[in-house]
Structures are given as structure tokens and as C-alpha cells.
Structure 1
């Protein structure tokens, strides 16, 4: 018995998409076997969408927790301010950078679904502005999955469906009310053909895939003076970095300049965290809040802020390795003055 369903349905919606979601969720049967994942552009605002959708249809609807198993017969809604991805039969939540001005965004979910489930994915684009989800839908189709788009004439905001139709090979374009019947048919067909769904690569390749969602590796090294991208060039034994404005650094001086920039940023972060902790401490001291759940919450937030400030302080106080121009490595809490 597999630890995950052979088919998942991923749905992306934005402006005007709630009504379309209601039509889909309300029409799915209680024995629908696939796992359904939903991303709606709700930003960081508190969301009651799982409760709302659970009142409409028979399937359980939840905000998942990071690390939850993918389970068939359930609807998972991306929680506020978190990207939701699927990886090796588990749900991962990340506060990675916004994509297309959004977090949660549709593309990270669709992209991860294509990588993890291949031909066992049904991707659905509903009403919304601009074109978030279109690149992810392209990857689903490229991986052998099935693509569905809400008929633009049926969408409150047709921009996302129209962009998908213009840029992706769409298998089905239909009103939202007709999608439940089709989803049941598609999932049943995929189950009966025993779709082989590839596991996410392991080892270093797995780390590379996760980097795509967390942006651990910068795309380019930028100039400490102006923030522009730097181009590396070699001059005999020297390595230099030059930006389009004309700022030039040797690698060693660049490293020292980066240290000063990070020191300033860490100092600002530590100050902000300590101020946050002090604000919480003052709220804890309010007599009208004593022995209440609110007081406990303020106290936890205070301790959290001071703990994080202490972590930043340790980074500021540690010694950092600063190579010089002849390969000698020096350790110092700050770069030497030139």
C-alpha cells in the first residue's frame, strides 16, 4: 500500500476565485480519493477559508502543519503568509521570498507538484489577476500532468485563465461548476492506469530542489556601494569585481565591505528585537492583564524577542575569517582599516 495517493489536485486562485472554489468543493463527493491543495492570494491576513469550504462540501478542509503527510480525501489550504509545497509525500511550509508579489503563491505549489508527482498531477487555474500559477501550470503539463482552466467567461477576473490559455497547452477549459465531475473522472482514470509518480531526487539534487523554494543561494553578488550586480574579471593573479556604475573591488576588499554591511544589518536587527522585547515587557507589566491568556502571550513574545536578539548578538561578537591578498587568513571581529 502506497503512503501517498497516486494523484493530487493543485488549485490556484486569486481575485474572484473564492466563488469558483465554492463551486468545486461543493461538488466533490465524499469518497474523492485524491489529495487537493489550494492556494489563494490572501497574504498575511488571518484566513477562515478552511472553515468556509468545510461548510460547503463533504471533504475535510484544513490549514496543514509543516511536515504533515499528504492524504487522499482531504483539502489542504495554504496558510497565511506561507508558501505550501509538496515533497516526497509530505507537505512543507516555508516563508520563502514572495513570488509574483504573493506569499502564499501558486507557482511554488505547482512547481513542487510537477517535480514530486509528475503525471499524477491535475493542475487547475481559477479566477485571478495577472498570471501567477501560469509558469507552474506549464511545468505540470511538461511533466505529463493534466491542465484545467476556468473558462474566462465564467471567471470574475479572467486574467489568470486567459494567461494560462495563451501560454500553456490546456487540456480542459470549462466553468467552475463543471469541474467536480471532470476531476472525478480524471482521478479515476489516473488511478486505474496506475500512474507512476517519481519521487523527488535524493542527496545533493534534493538540496538543490529545496533551494529553489528557500532562496538560500543568491543569484548574483551585488555591489556594497550601489547594490548593482557585480561582474567578476581576472587580471593576472588578481580577481576583481566591477558593477555597471564602475565600482571596483578586489575579492579581499569585497569580503571586508560585505562584513561591514552585515555588521550594520545585524546591529539594526538586534536593536529592533530588543525594542520588541521591551514593548512586550511593558505590556506584561500592565496590571489589568495579569493572570490572563493575553499576559501569557505577551510574555512568550517577550522571551522570544530577547532570545532572538541574543542569537544575533552572538553573530556580531564572533570572529570572522578575512583572507588577505597573499593567502594568509586572519580572524577578526572587524576588517582592518586601510
Structure 2
């Protein structure tokens, strides 16, 4: 950790995050003695004008981060679409490393990098969003001397991410957007005390997040086999869970929290059910055609068998439709 480096504030947001970031940008102190690094979940191919929108409202300069630059106090730097934003050895890395929790950029890699790089100078902040990206990284940041700030879930448009962060870091500072800028200024100006050496596992996880930086293939896997499959690459997942934090990572680096993995599994199940429904209805349609053709040529036995097969396929399709309806009802409950 460079003693002359400024404090760094990492801010993570997802659904509802654009509104939160624009509100926060208007309130940031023009004399903020810290660098601000921002990760917002966003589609990989979608153009974004968020830096320009924030820059118009913010007293500090706002732009996309550039690979290799050093963060400076009084600047707000955003992760570009489809790139993680990290800080390693005092410089920013804008990298296409493996997705985490289904996202790139993801929040957890930034927070882990801040834990290693800035230690007690690091401030991690979780804003509005779905599921739980950022919770594991925020816990690592706090364990290495940093400070956690969480948007008040009652204020957030989507409170899932703030609540997940508070489940892992119940001692985090909970604040409204109106008070967040003051909190940042106070935390950035305080004396730095202590710090700890990064754990080998945290350093290895950061390495896995960096594109083009491999981990020795002879090293043992990240953890014990979880008996689960990575949705991104179909490789085996390994268990990185601890206490009440369930986490998984594959050998090439894709990482999943319990909520993100459950969500993508739900999506996969729904796709499989719709595929099965389509196949069953196609089968019934074909068997009805076979029955009509057989009837026309006087093959009553063949026609009866085809009608029975069609009937069974439609019964099975009805069961699949019921399963899909039950899933949708459960999602809306």
C-alpha cells in the first residue's frame, strides 16, 4: 500500500443505480480528498452516456477509467461496459476477466482489489440493485481494514443488494443519498490506522479476475468440489463458502454468489421447461398428422396408436404448463 496514494471509494450499483449515481453525483464535495471508482451493472454491447450525464451534475470530473492510469483524488472514474475495474500496484486495470455473478463489470472484483491495494484507506459503497453482487467483496474489504457504506435499503429503488451487503457486514454505515457525500468526505479525511496483509485466497481471487493473468494449472483448485456446474463455462464449481456466505468459483475464474447462481439456475430451468413444452406440442402435432394420414389410407391400428401417442404428449405438455404457471406464481408472491 502506497503511503502517498489517496483514499479510494469504490461504489457499486445495479438496478436503480443510474438514478442513485446521478443523485450522488450532484452532492459530491468538490474538495473530496479521495478517488471514486464506480461499477454499474450494464449490458455488454449497449452504449452508455452515464459518464456524460454524471459529469454535467457533478462538481468533480467524471469519465470512463483508462487502463494503466493512477487514480487521483477528486476524480470519478467509471468501469466501461463489459470490463471489470480493478486497481493493482497503484494503477487501474480495465480488464475483460471472467464474469462474476453473471456480470462484467462486477462489483465484487473491485472491492477485493481495493481491500488488497488500499486496506484501511478503502471505502466500499453498495447502492440500489438486485441480488447480492458486492456483498462478498464488501466483507473482504472490511476484513482488511476498509470501511463499508450502504445505501439505506428503505430508500433504494431495489433494496436487494443493500440488504445482502448488510447481511454480510451488519456494522456498515447505513446512509441516505442525501447524507452519503458528507459521509464520504468524513471517512476520506480521517487518519489511517492499521491494516493487514492480504490473505493468499484473496490475492488468488484477484488474479483470477485479471484478464491475461493465469493461475498455475498445477495449483490445487480454489476450494473443495461443490458438485455444481458453472453456468458460464460448464466447468465444475468449487466451494469458497465461509460462515453464512455461500460462494462458488470455477477453475477459470467465473464466480457465483448463492443468489446469483440460484437466479441463473432458475432461468436455465425455465428455458428447459419451455424447450420441453415446445417438443411435446410438436410431437402431438406430428402424431395427429400421422393419425390422419393413416386413417385416410385405411390403417386404423396405426391411426389409433398415433392418436394415443398424441394424447400422452399433450398430457405431458399440460403438466409442463402447470409447472411453468407455478413458477411464475412463486416469482410474483
| Same fold? TM cut 0.5 | yes
**Structure 1 runs not aligned, ≥5 long:** 222-226, 230-338
1:149 and 1:170 in contact (8 A); partners too: no
Q: In 1, distance between residues paired with 2:28 and 2:235? A: 51
Which runs of 5 or more structure 2 residues have no equivalent in the other structure?
Answer: 226-233, 237-333
Tell me how far 1:199 sits from its aligned partner: 9.2
Corresponding position of 1:10: 10
3-state SS of the aligned residue for 1:152?
coil
Partner Cα separation in structure 2 for residue 43 and residue 117 of structure 1:
29
- For residues 198 and 89 of structure 2, the distance between their equivalents in structure 1, rounded to whole angstroms, comes to 6
The 5 Å alignment of 1:293-332 reads: none
**Which residue in the other structure is 1:69 paired with?**
70
Q: Distance in 1 between matches of 2:154 and 2:205?
A: 40
Q: 1:158 to 1:93 in 2, by over 3 A?
A: same
Structure 2 matches for 1:177-216, cutoff 5 A? 177-189=178-190, 193-195=191-193, 209-214=206-211, 216=214
* Secondary structure in structure 2 of the residue aligned to 1:153: coil
Matches for 1:1-338 after TM superposition, within 5 Å:
4-5=5-6, 7-44=7-44, 45-189=46-190, 193-195=191-193, 209-214=206-211, 216-217=214-215, 219=221
TM superposition score normalised by structure 2: 0.60
> 1:20·1:176 contact (CA, 8 Å) conserved in 2?
yes
The Cα shift of 1:216 comes to 2.6
Residues 251-275 of structure 1, C-alpha deviations (whole Å, 9 max, x = no match): xxxxxxxxxxxxxxxxxxxxxxxxx
Q: Which runs of 4+ in 1 moved over 2 A?
A: 1-4, 194-201, 205-221
CA distance, structure 2, for counterparts of residue 36 and residue 147 of structure 1: 14
Shift of 1:186: 1.2
SS of residue in 2 equivalent to 1:136:
helix
What does the per-residue CA deviation read over 1:28-81, in whole Å, with 9 as the maximum and x for residues that have no partner?
121111000000001312211111101111100111111011111100100010
RMSD between aligned residues: 3.0
Relative distance call for 1:94 and 1:175 in structure 2 (3 A) is same
Distance in 1 separating the partners of 2:160 and 2:204: 34
CA 1:159–1:206 in 2, change beyond 3 Å: closer, same or farther? Answer: closer
**Aligned residues of 2:121 and 2:192 also touching (Cα < 8 A):** no
